Structure 1
Amino acid sequence: MKGQDWYQADEVAQEYDSLRFSDGGRVIDRREKEAVLSAVGPVDGKRVLEVACGTGRFTTMLADQGADIVGLDISREMMEQGRQKAKDAGLSDRVQFMRGDASRLPFPDDHFDSVVAMRFFHLMDEPELFMQELQRVSKDQVFFDTFNRRSFRVLYTWALPMGSRLYSRDEVESLLDAANLSLANEEHAFTLPYGFYRNLPGSVADAFRAVDTTINKTPVGQAIASVSYWDAQVED
């Protein structure tokens, strides 16, 4: 798994949210949360698993919406940040954080209504094994994102400290087919890659995001979007 050691470093966990989702990074945080809620919600009363929950951005958000949610991650340091976030929000009773390996999930078949895996598949050397495991524990839905091969992200992705796997649409469809999943919906976003926004002040990032959103509505913008959100359904 690319970047496993990097993500588990204590100093990375402590600064992860502030470095990535403050100032210009807020536009990324908003769009990702919107994508998750749009696909998975309404979640009141649903049993949800978030794989690679990290610092609990989505875990806490879904718990606040009424989900009974488990957040699983390999990094104790990241999950400590998530536990504190849930505690601060008064949601500790709705969230369970577990350290575990996503290739061997400690749950029975069909245990969750939905499984969410954000910022996960770009780190996987063997994504097929993980997709099949996510499908196994879900009754209905697997929602995940990928970084795209036909995007500006290709210009700098391998220079990132954790590396990054890029996917074509054909590769995503093959993953779904092998895991007995069918594509229910998809969204493509961010013509300008994430790293561009993180280096901008918030107000400047908002202005660029408005232009980016306009471009993204065009066929060209969709074709070169840097990230895709995939809503997959478990086949009978």
Structure 2
Amino acid sequence: MKGKEWYQADDVAQEYDDKRFSDGGRHIDRRERQAVLEALSPVDGKNVLEIACGTGRFTVMLAERGAEIVGLDISGPMLVQGRDKASEAGVGDAVEFMRGDAGRLPFPDDHFDAVFAMRFFHLADPPVKFLTEMARVSKDVVFFDTFNRFSSRSVYNWLLPMGSRLYARFEVEQLLDGAGLSLADEAHDFVLPYGLYREIPNEIAGHLREMDTALRGSLVGEKLASVSYWTAQV
């Protein structure tokens, strides 16, 4: 997996949320939370697994809404941050954070009601083993996002130290088919790349987000979207 050592560094874990989701990055965080909730809701009483949970942004959010959730990540420092967040939110008893390999999930078949991964498949190489494992341990929903090949992300990718795996639609369809999953829903967003939002103040980013959201509803916006959210069923 790309960036495995980088994500396990202590300083990365400590600064991860601030670097990505402060200022204009709040618009990214808001949209991602919305996408997760739309895919998994209602979550109250559900048994959920989050792959590559990082610092627990979504793990804690779902626990606050009544889910029993396991957050799995390769990074010990990230998991420490996640446990602290869960404790501060008062949901420590509803969350279990585990260090583990997403390519070999330590759970039996059909163990969870839903399995999801955000900000993971751009690092997954090869991705098929990860999606197959997610499908194996889910008895209903599998949800994930991808960065798109024919979008502004292609340009932004050149500036990243690790780069990202970018996906065309047919590649996602092949992945789903190979994992025995059926596509149930999809959404496409962010004509403007993530990096632009992170570099500007929240006030300016808000105006750009309004324009971006307006484009999202058009055929052009869907074709140029840099991020896609995929909801699949076992």
State the 1:159 CA deviation: 2.8
Deviations 1:106-159 (A, max 9, x none): 000000000011001100111011111000000001000000001001012143
Residue in structure 2 matched with residue 46 of structure 1 by the alignment: 46
Is the Cα contact below 8 Å between 2:146 and 2:227 reproduced in 1? yes
Residue in structure 2 matched with residue 193 of structure 1 by the alignment: 193
The alignment-based identity, stated in percent, is 68
Q: Say yes or no: does 1:226 pair with 2:226.
A: yes
Is the Cα contact below 8 Å between 1:6 and 1:162 reproduced in 2? no
1:1-236 maps to which residues of 2 (within 5 A)?
Answer: 1-234=1-234
Deviations 1:169-227 (A, max 9, x none): 00000000001100000000000010010001111111100000001111010001000
Q: Distance in 2 between matches of 1:220 and 1:22?
A: 29
Q: Distance in 2 between matches of 1:162 and 1:63?
A: 32
Q: Give ranges in structure 1 of 5+ residues lacking alignment.
A: none
Q: Distance in 2 between matches of 1:193 and 1:65?
A: 30
Q: CA RMSD in A?
A: 0.7
Q: Distance in 1 between matches of 2:162 and 2:115?
A: 24
Q: Distance in 1 between matches of 2:102 and 2:90?
A: 27
Q: Distance in 1 between matches of 2:189 and 2:119?
A: 14
Q: Distance in 2 between matches of 1:81 and 1:163?
A: 25
2:122 counterpart SS class? helix
Q: Distance in 1 between matches of 2:128 and 2:201?
A: 38
Q: Distance in 2 between matches of 1:158 and 1:44?
A: 41
Q: Give ranges in structure 2 of 5+ residues lacking alignment.
A: none
State the 1:36 CA deviation: 0.2
Deviations 1:77-127 (A, max 9, x none): 111111111111011000000000001100000000000110011001110
Is the Cα contact below 8 Å between 2:148 and 2:226 reproduced in 1? yes
Q: Distance in 1 between matches of 2:128 and 2:196?
A: 30
State the 1:21 CA deviation: 0.3
Question: Given the two structures, how large is their TM-score scaled by the length of structure 1?
Answer: 0.98
Q: Distance in 2 between matches of 1:200 and 1:6?
A: 25
Q: Give the partner amino acid of 1:57.
A: R
Q: Give the partner amino acid of 2:37.
A: L
Is the Cα contact below 8 Å between 1:69 and 1:96 reproduced in 2? yes
State the 1:3 CA deviation: 0.9
State the 1:32 CA deviation: 0.1
Q: Distance in 2 between matches of 1:207 and 1:134?
A: 37
Tell me whether 150-159 or 61-70 shows the greater mean CA deviation.
150-159
State the 1:27 CA deviation: 0.2
Q: Distance in 1 between matches of 2:2 and 2:158?
A: 11
Q: Which portions of structure 1, spanning 4 or more consecutive aligned residues, are displaced by more than 2 angstroms?
A: none
